[in-house]
Amino acid sequence: MNVLLLNGSPHPNGNTAQALDEMIKVFREEGIETTLVQVGAKPIRGCIACRGCRATGKCVFDDLVNETAPLFEQADGLVVASPVYYASANATLVALLTRLFQSTRFDKSFKVGASVAVARRGGITSTYDELNKFFGIAGMPIASGQYWNGVHGLAPGDAAQDGEGLQQMRTLARNMAWLIKAIASRKAEVGLPAKEPREVTNFVR
């Protein structure tokens, strides 16, 4: 079993990384492999709605999005972590997620998703909500912890002082590991739920 973790911070050794490291420790204890991808400082443009991916199954912009796609396909779970900028996730991370979810054709159902937000003070819950939208639209169960998943800190290393926040990360990782294993066990026994053909409508008549 494998969990893919995306660090949306431009600082690879900052507080967002420390939050993810706390989770990685637990995943290893649970016998789950991890793959960490550093996203935050990469030059990733947004989706231009060209729909080229519908024919090829990959984004027309050949960058970290296409590099991450096979890792996502192979993963049993996805953790997305971001610092908070203006009560929102890092725009670079959002650009990657938008193109990653849009361009890939593989079934994401029942891969377990979890989001983590890191802030000096406020904006964690709005960022948490924003990131969870990607999981919800893809049929991915959302792992939760003991609170809204967040850690506080400003300067690198501040997160070490947020005992409650780091405990949240450990709890989240344990819950996520349990959910991944439970889904795998049930999938082996009875398979996944049946799917109806997709029906797409709009409100223009």
Write the pLDDT tens digit of every residue in 50-97: 999 999 999 999 999 999 999 999 999 999 999 999 999 999 999 999
- 121 in a structural domain: yes
Q: Cβ of 141: how many Cβ atoms within 10 Å?
A: 19
- 10 in a structural domain: yes
Write the pLDDT tens digit of every residue in 140-181: 999 999 999 999 999 999 999 999 999 999 999 999 999 999
Per-residue pLDDT for 198 more than 90? Answer: no
- Total-model pTM: 0.95
- 116 in a structural domain: yes
- 182 in a structural domain: yes
Residue 205 has a pLDDT of: 64
Residue 117 near residue 124 (C-beta atoms within 8 A): yes
- 198 in a structural domain: no
| Virtual torsion, Cα 41, 43, 46, 48, nearest 10 deg | -170
Closest CA to 78 of 32, 122, 46: 32
Residue 81 has a pLDDT of: 98
